Amino acid sequence: MEVENGNFNSNNKTKEQAGFFNKPPGYRFFPTDEELIVFYLEKKVWNQPLPINKIVEVNLYAHNPDFLAAKYKDYQEDQLYIFTPRDRKYRNGRRPNRAAGDGYWKATGADRKIKSKGTVVGYRKALVFYIGKAPKGKKTNWIMHEFRVEDSPCSERGSNGMRVCSFSSFY
pLDDT tens digits for the chain (171 residues)?
333 344 444 444 444 444 555 666 777 788 899 999 999 998 888 888 988 888 888 888 888 998 988 888 877 677 888 888 877 776 766 777 788 889 999 999 899 999 999 999 999 999 999 999 988 999 999 999 999 887 765 544 434 467 777 767 653
Q: What was the pLDDT predicted at 97?
A: 76
- Of 96, 98, 150, 144, whose CA–CA distance to 123 is shortest? 150
Distance CA 122, CA 144 (A): 16
Task: Measure the N-to-C terminal CA separation of the chain; round to a whole number of Å.
Answer: 36
Is there a contact between 80 and 90 (Cβ–Cβ < 8 Å)? Answer: no
Amino acid identity of residue 104, one-letter, is Y
Q: What is the pLDDT of residue 33?
A: 92
- Beta bridge mates, 80: 167
What does the domain layout of the chain look like in residue ranges? 4-8+39-169
State pTM to two decimals: 0.76
Estimate to the nearest angstrom the gap between the alpha carbon of 81 and the chain centroid. Answer: 6
CATH architecture designation of domain 4-8+39-169: Beta Complex (2.170)
* Distance of alpha carbon 109 from alpha carbon 143, whole angstroms: 13
Half-sphere exposure of 31 (CA within 13 A, CB side): 21
Residue pair 11/50 in contact (Cβ under 8 Å)? The answer is: yes
Residue 46 is given by DSSP the state: T
